[in-house]
Amino acid sequence: MFETLSERLNQVFQQLRRRGKLSEADVDSAMREVRLALLEADVNYSVVKDLIARVRARAVGAEVSKALNPAQQVIKIVHEELIATLGEPARLSLSGERPRAIMMVGLQGSGKTTAAAKLARILRSQGERVMLVAADPYRPAAIKQLQTLGEKIGVPVFTQPGVLPPKLAAQALDQAQKGGVSVMIVDTAGRSQLDQPLMDELKAISKELPISEILLVVDAMIGQEALHIAEGFRDNVSLTGLILTKMDGDARGGAAISIRTVTGVPIKFLGTGESVEALESYDPQRLASRILGMGDVLGLIEKAEAAYDQKITQEEAEKMLSGRFTLEDFANQLRQIRKMGPFSQIMEMLPGNMGQMARNVSPQDAERSLKLTEAILNSMTINERKSPDILNASRRRRIARGSGTEVQDVNRVLKQFREAQRLVKTLQKTGGRGMPRLFG
């Protein structure tokens, strides 16, 4: 979402790095560019004004003038003030007697139903006994969607067709108490726009439940309108947190930077894709690093830990260290990477040079290249993957036909594999000292 903003800010920082010393005029020029970049990204004007004022006050002081590397010091200040603007991280509050109720509220199309299922999956993985409640009787499709998602993640869904939401909530609570449920997540009805009947219904539902959290789900792609929606809900129901969805989109995304400051409501989760795994805890420091093109290595590690099979990973590591790295292992690694999400998203979480490389490759090209490599590997026999030295010209032609590619594509994959093998051998010999500077 922040690709354009990241590029603009990095251009400003590159200009600063070219100067050994920074004058007040240099700082002012850089701040003008940063201000324009933030405004074009749809960040709220008053938020931009305050952020730039804080950065400038620090950047023209002794903090920068006495620094060994003034440009890096300014970037550090921008990073710290951006984190302050994004707000403190906030976690779910699940205290009190069970079952604890979490109400999901928001307008239609915000991704509320999917967010409810994503949150249920996370809580279930943490040992909670979760129940989803379909409290939107006006849209049968929403009930069906929640039931499908609940079945996918192994979480029961309570619904009573034709029953009004407040009464349905009371029945769901009774069912949760009898079933030993620890957390019930209530997917409430949305509207196409804010109106009083919606707010009255939400207030009536909240009176029937032991509420722990009321989470507003907001589409991050709708820009400044997201702020107005958040303020509208905040003024009518006791919001405890925000979930920003569609953070993987290509919109300007300024709402994510502005919304905490403007509404005073903490962001708790970010939706980063359509799959049920694509929900991450909000961390302003990591988000600020991604906005400024510094990558998100911690996020990448978390994705890997969630996707990778520990036993397979350990076996492959042992093979690599012993020098027995084959195309079969190469194919297994690609399958593991696939589980982490779109390849382009993974690359964008890398810092430094690798992150810059990712921004130079379109998401479509990255995905196409990965699928092509998978097709070529799948067209090989197990024996060929285990013993790549037997891949003569005739075998390569057969693999190309089977995968719908050209022989040169097969050769390219084999070249990539050889490079990976060489890297493994370098690691064996040098203990990691031969690794290229990927994160400069």
**Mean pLDDT along residues 225-241:** 88
Residues 6+ apart with CB under 8 A from 272: 247, 248, 278, 279, 280, 341, 345
Query: What distance in Å separates the CA atoms of residue 48 and residue 53, rounded to the nearest whole number?
Result: 8
Q: What is the pLDDT of residues 168-183, one digit of tens each?
A: 999 999 999 999 999 9
**pLDDT tops 90 at residue 157:** yes
Reported as a single tens digit per residue, the pLDDT across 86-109 is 888 888 888 878 899 999 999 888
pLDDT-above-70 percentage for the chain: 78
437 confidence band (pLDDT: 50, 70, 90): very low
Classified by CATH at the fold level, domain 3-86 comes out as: Four Helix Bundle (Hemerythrin (Met), subunit A) (1.20.120)
Average pLDDT over residues 8-34: 82
CATH says 300-430 is which class?
mainly alpha
Residue 310 predicted with pLDDT over 70: no
For residue range 352-372, what is the model confidence (pLDDT) as tens digits? Answer: 444 454 555 565 676 778 788
Percentage of the chain modeled with pLDDT above 90: 31
What pLDDT, on a 0 to 100 scale, did the predictor assign at position 329? Answer: 78
pLDDT in tens, 358-411: 555 565 676 778 788 889 998 999 889 888 889 999 999 999 999 999 999 999
Q: Which of 188, 187, 151, 159 is nearest to 175 (CA)?
A: 159
Place 188 in a pLDDT band, splitting at 50, 70 and 90: very high
Domain boundaries, the chain: 3-86, 100-291, 300-430
The pLDDT of residue 440: 38
Write down the mean pLDDT value for the chain: 81
12 pLDDT above the threshold of 90: no
Q: What average pLDDT does this structure show over 154-165?
A: 92
pTM for this model (two decimals): 0.67
Least confident of 110-124, 242-256, 371-385: 242-256
Q: Give 66's pLDDT tier (boundaries 50, 70, 90).
A: low
Q: Worst-scoring range by mean pLDDT, 58-67, 177-186, 415-424?
A: 58-67
Q: Could you tell me the pLDDT band of residue 164, with boundaries at 50, 70 and 90?
A: very high
Instruction: Read off the pLDDT band of 291 (50, 70, 90).
Output: confident
Sequence letter at residue 259? I
CATH topology of domain 100-291: Rossmann fold (3.40.50)
Q: Please check whether the two domains, 3-86 and 100-291, share a CATH topology.
A: no
The residue that leads in pLDDT, 304 or 9, is: 9
Better-scored residue on pLDDT, 154 or 343: 154
Mean pLDDT throughout 418-423? 77
